[in-house]
Structure 1
Amino acid sequence: MRAQIASLLPTNTVDRPGWAVDIHAAFVALEIKPNLQNICAVIAVTEQESSVRADPSVPNLGRIAWEEIDRRAERLGVPKFAVHVALKLSSPTGKSYGERIDAVTTERELSEIFEDFIAMVPLGKRLLADWNPVRTGGAMQVSIAFAERHVQEHPYPFSTTNSIRHEVFTRRGGMYFGIAHLLGYPATYDKLIYRFADFNAGRYASRNAAFQNAASLASGKPLDLDGDLLRQGDDDTAKPGSTELAVRSISKALDMNHQAIRRALEQGGSQEFDRTLLYTRMFELADRLERQPLPRALIPRIVLHSPKITRKLTTEWFATRVDERHRRCLVRAAVPTVPERM
């Protein structure tokens, strides 16, 4: 199996046997079948996110970091010059924090700088507290918050003295958590492209976008098909979002009260939503009104925003690009190759 994984990796991958070992170990630890479809799915996402590099470099990362620092300072009412003065202090490496930021090329390096700054400088605790702005990392650019949540339910299977944040930036940890995010949940999708979209937009976002589409058609109210069933924010329990309001508007046709609708929508982040009365009745109603079965999965319509993104990109763009890479990987599998010695 490791030989097969190595043979499917791009030919310019450095240390293909090592990558194969870590990918295979993640499949085994997560109890996910390492079949051809799944292996190529993992490789496709990794190619898209990092060109199969454990700690990929990010163009202009120093500039991006300074802009993020300045935005954070402004939100907290801290004068920009005070922050820049603080960052001239010497760090544990002997260089100033500012010098290290200027020279930074990877998210791992930037994360370590912020950790040093938070721990060593009084202003760091006030400015950033526990909020490290590096939120994704590793070869699959997996969310660090996801990795930290994952280990609360599934203990990390590998021996390490590092924090989970640090593990995400290793090849082993980055692949483990990335594969868990991509494949480690049950879904009834008939095409992998919806998992690729979920990887970008959040688990079950494609299913939820299809539900929003059905709710929009049944209620006659336009909705953003973004996969978010509930309004996000601190006051989300007090103010229902557009999807919830659309569903409420046809509560009589669904024969459900507002409380039951809310309870069902709260399950939008799990497979259980598929089994709710709301999900079943919504599609029964919408299918009947449209006189045809509606899709049960749609790629969410989301415009991607990140300091690292310099052009207009969407979840559809991401999912389509990964799907193309997945197809190319399957083609490679059909052409016999001689893998490197393991």
Structure 2
Amino acid sequence: MTKQNQTITVNRLPAKTWNWLKMNETVIGMPRIDGSIAIKQSVAEAGQAEAEQLRMAQQTDWDKITTGMGEAMDQPSETDAAWDTELLTIPENADCGEPYVYRFAYRSGQHAYNRLHIYAGAHSRAKIILLCESEETGGMMSAIQTKVYAGEGAKVELYVVQTMNAEAVCLHDVGVSCEKDAAVKEVQLELGGAEVYTGTLFELSGEESTAELVSGYLGTGRQKIDMNYVARHRGKKTKSNMQISGILKNEAKKLLRGTIDFVHGCVGAKGDEKEDVLLVGDNMVNQTIPLILCAEEDVEGNHGASIGKLDENMLFYAATRGIPPEEAQRLLTLAKIEAINSQIPSEEVRGAVDTYLKEQCI
């Protein structure tokens, strides 16, 4: 990372564990930020928010919505450069059929930070896609903080897709606040970058609110991937489901922190967290901290992991059909990524992922 002038601490666990492993948090060097990158938008038809609702969105205390990477991402660089906050307001009862698409295209040497605040009015429905891509080779930084406020009964789907070049640094930070009966789903696909730091914190305050996370990653070369996902249950009968799936190849390193936090009073809450990692090779580093914090008795928490290499029987079967081991590995890797890519509600964005994978010979 170039133009470094400070360090920040990100992806801190809600409760420390096994200090000697040095996995509770991550300290990274931060460059001076140039400012905010211009966003190419494709905006769905959602109607106009009434003046009162727009005022409520503008006056929402966004500082109280905590994020997965932590408070350091509220102002990640000591710089004089100005950055913008994009406010997306979904009117009450609005049902957006087409997704909102935000494209972030970075240039060599550019270090940009953007904020996006999403206010979903009561009983609204919306899909938002963030696509981060690099227009050039060379070092650059994509830093984006997204905060979502989901009003009573709102249904929000957030898609974060990253196809940066192999020299880029990515910091993608998400915080979600859910009111009664709200439901937020996040689908994340981190494919490129030299260093990837990402985190999401779901604050389930409203009774019977739900959170779902589907996260996929591809670690190749000497790539470093550092993740922190937290589902914090405060309301009664809240539900969370976090599914993380990835591939590690070559000398890639990955650290995943997955926390289900049952706060006192969340009677009847249920949280699930599962990781599935495919190891291709022998020199990668795979680290995981599954954590359940419990201050309430009447709750249910589950976590599990499936970590392994390609099935030898499957490779043998492929060989009997004339498919070399290298090609079989490539097809199985693509299948895991495609399972997540197929969930993205935009043919344009799905195509951008396919193009990236072809260019990278994956």
Q: Is the TM-score greater than 0.5?
A: no
Q: Point out the structure with the larger strand share.
A: 2
Compare CA radii of gyration and give the structure with the larger one: 1
Normalised to the residue count of structure 1, the TM-score between the two structures is 0.23
Greater RCO between the two (CA within 8 Å, min separation 6)?
1
Normalised to the residue count of structure 2, the TM-score between the two structures is 0.22
